[in-house]
Structure 1
Amino acid sequence: MADSFSGAGAAIPLKVREFFLARQPILDRSQALVAYELLFRNAEVGPARVTSDLSATASVIAHASQLGMEKVIGDSIGYLNVDAAVLMSDIFKFLPREKVVLEIVETMKVTPEILARIEHLVADGFRFALDDVITDSDDVQQLLPLVDVIKFDLRDMPLSALLKLTPRFKLSKKKLLAEKVETREQFQTCLELGFDYFQGYYFAKPVILSGKKLSPSQLSVMQLMSLINSEADNSDIERAIKKDVSLCFNLLRLVNTPAVGSPRRIDSVTQALMILGRNQLRRWLQIMLYAEPCKKGQAMTPLLRLATTRGKLLELIAQQVEPRNRGMADTAFTVGIMSLMDTLFSIPMEEILEQVSVVDAVSDALMHRTGVYGGMLSLVEQMERIEEAGPMLDNLVDQFRLSSEDLVNLQLSAFEWSDSVARYA
């Protein structure tokens, strides 16, 4: 679908569904999710073209109701890149100002017209971040009074430069956001430097602790999953659930969330088994594992959201590829949600698979990213890191006979479902 927006005296043609989409989590100091940056890559011009601004941003904004920005970011804030052309356009009437932070791209030349436009938008209630700051240049100083957030890309910033610049911006009462945070060590360094927000997949990287054991509650869930996988009788499964009062309570609470879509309230384990079936029960047990730390006051919501998004997106891709094969969709969900369990438990994936019996196709996907499910998982992981995705992304999209429009629609459904789960978990 094509459309255009007017800006800087010209109409720019837009094709809404020609972009791959990613949302990257932004966490606060307590590791709670506070925002997503929305990134877009042109699906037609090859892997080298990442468009997180210009016509990509305009395309999304102009068709916010179609694309469903609320579906993409849920209850969070959305960070969007804007350049001079977007800033000078009349596109802002499409934007929910309370839900977005506009990132000023580092390549934009500051002119009196640009400054006046940003001042007008700030007065109108829009918030701004300054992206990829590497110095406190004249342009940065001119923009500083108008922005709330300063972003530093850790790939481009040696520690010496961070040590020099961060105190200056803290004195100006600006929030500091570190992006491309890929390790726990980087996160800890930025935390000590006083950063407020963190963007990157450090939280999803497993930190293996030697001798780490599963907690009793985690063991109960894993044993129950093994019972289901081994085709145990319903009575044995019910008995195992009822032995653990906390497990029973949390399971019933979870299966009554809107994300399950049950037409009536489920009040007993027997009902849960009857209405949900074993595959669905296994699914909610897997989700419980990610939700459990939240009950203890730990901020694991980002991992819960990422795992449930992966699970749902793999399921939807499988349904698209083999619409009549329900078993394939269930297996794909399991691969997606189990793909972060080494991070969740801080133990190697190999040890997890020793405790929960899975079919070889699932094991191959989780351990080696091989087979059809391994390909689906690799595709989803490439989509998460869309800026760095190379030819592999395009090859996988072709392999599964998906269009960029297919992927956007499947992602929106997965985002919406995951956010619903996280809200009630």
Structure 2
Amino acid sequence: MPDPYQDTDDAGRLQTFAQAGAEEEADEAISSAQFVYVGRQPILDRDGALHAYELLFRGSARNYAEVSDDAQATAQVVVRTIGSIGVPSVLGSHRGFVNIGRDLLFDDIVHLMEPERFVLEILETVEFDERLIARIEELRRAGFRVALDDVCELSPNLYAALPYADIVKVDFLETDRTRLAALTQALASHGKTLIAEKVETREDFALARELGFDLFQGYFFARPQVLSTRRTRSSRTSLLRLLALLARDARIVELEAELKRNPNVVMQLLRLVNSSAFGLGRNIASLREAIIATGTRQIARWAQLLLYAGIGELPWRSDPLVQLAGTRARFMELAARWIHPNDEAFADAAFLTGVFSLVHVLVDSTPDATLDPLDLSPLIRDAIVERTGPMGALLNIAEAAGEAQDAAAIASAQSLAQSLEEFAALTPSVLAELNLSAAAWFGAHLVE
């Protein structure tokens, strides 16, 4: 006969375990909200000396990755390394290998990384075609080294990729051992640097050395280390003031004064300019130098990203409000350039009108209550609040293009501006093309 007290004890223990698990999950959620994390695993040379690190996505202090979106995970690794923790703290004097998929290879986030410090590690799922090959050649001319990840067999895609790679990583867990020697010899004949990855035993290490591998990575040497720093959040009010200053072409001294009120943005801006290939040959030490070196357009894009993403980590791809703000702003910029090809100021104002046209949604207010305290230029303020002037007409057209996405609706919105002769060049077919270009730009070139 079962002991009724035993059932009670088991139930109690299960309840205790469940409570402990819930408390652990709650603690992890709090930690993840307060900190950002990056994993790094050493890559060693034949003498056992540290050669480089592979940088890995980590969502918490737990040392494993839960990745649902490869592109977003890579973007967060890059921005956390550069903008949050800092390249010197993560890499020291060594290079960092960053996993990167096809979409991000075409994204200007690549140019946030300094070619001398980062290796682009192309995922095994990426198919090489003419367009990708041209892009990789462009990146290699810019100074990047390219690694092929998780190679385990001689496939047609591998042969297509080899001429455009500097490094090949062979997966020791997945590669058939009877074919390992032939694979290694074939890769070495192409003059590539070979990395034995996922080396987990002394026997694997001895075999890799015997086969002539140049570098080694795996649990036999070290598990990834998780680095973290406190998450910084930027003040939306300060970002709005900064964007307003940029919208009215404020002087550097005004931008400097506003940035000084938001140390989080200053920190990220300095790390951005010091970590990117601006060709300056020196580190930027002052805020004024950073503003001049970065340029107001780059600062505006960065501030917009922080404003709409809210946490400054590029999780924008999955946020519909971020996508709407980005595509609308870009559409207005493209349309402004179409009707006034030589007026950069008008194009910049159009972009910022698109950005500011949605900020009231962020703060759950009305456009006039949100924008009036910012002292925006009348051109932008009146376009959003009153829908007047050429910029107001352009905003109406942008809304139709973004919401209806058909030529009839765009033509209807354009009719609101027919009294303005300058809009005659924006035919429905042109506007439909600009709308598609803006949507494509958001996915591939948000950070310029």
- TM norm structure 2: 0.40
Greater Rg over alpha carbons, structure: 2
Greater length-normalized contact order (CA 8 Å, ≥ 6 residues apart)? 1
